[in-house]
Amino acid sequence: SVLVRNIPLHMTVDDLRKKFEKFGELRDVYIPRDYYTQRSRGFGFIEFRDARDADEAIYQLDKTSIDGREINVCLSKEGRKTPRDM
């Protein structure tokens, strides 16, 4: 999985998908939300079907801007957590 930090709080899963799908087929896009407010926590996860596509997305998008915010794109150390893990 790819971790995307510092995304705009108004960004949706579809917005994030559009930004990353040009690098390859996506398996999952997830933006964690605050449990109480349901607002975005400012980061998201992208899972590509092919790891080479993830590497290309990281290379092309790390340190770029979305709506004036510089995003940080890197390989995630963990995948998406299930409700049981939280």
- Interatomic CA distance for residues 6 and 51, integer angstroms: 22
Helix and strand totals (H; E) in the chain: 2, 6
- Give the pLDDT confidence score for residue 21 in this predicted structure: 96
pLDDT tens, per residue, the chain with 86 residues = 999 999 999 999 999 999 999 999 999 999 999 999 999 999 999 999 999 999 999 999 999 999 999 999 999 986 555 555 54
- Give the pLDDT confidence score for residue 79 in this predicted structure: 58
User: Dihedrals φ, ψ of 69, to 5°?
Assistant: -110, 130
- Give the pLDDT confidence score for residue 77 in this predicted structure: 83
What DSSP character marks residue 68?
Answer: T
User: Dihedrals φ, ψ of 15, to 5°?
Assistant: -60, -45
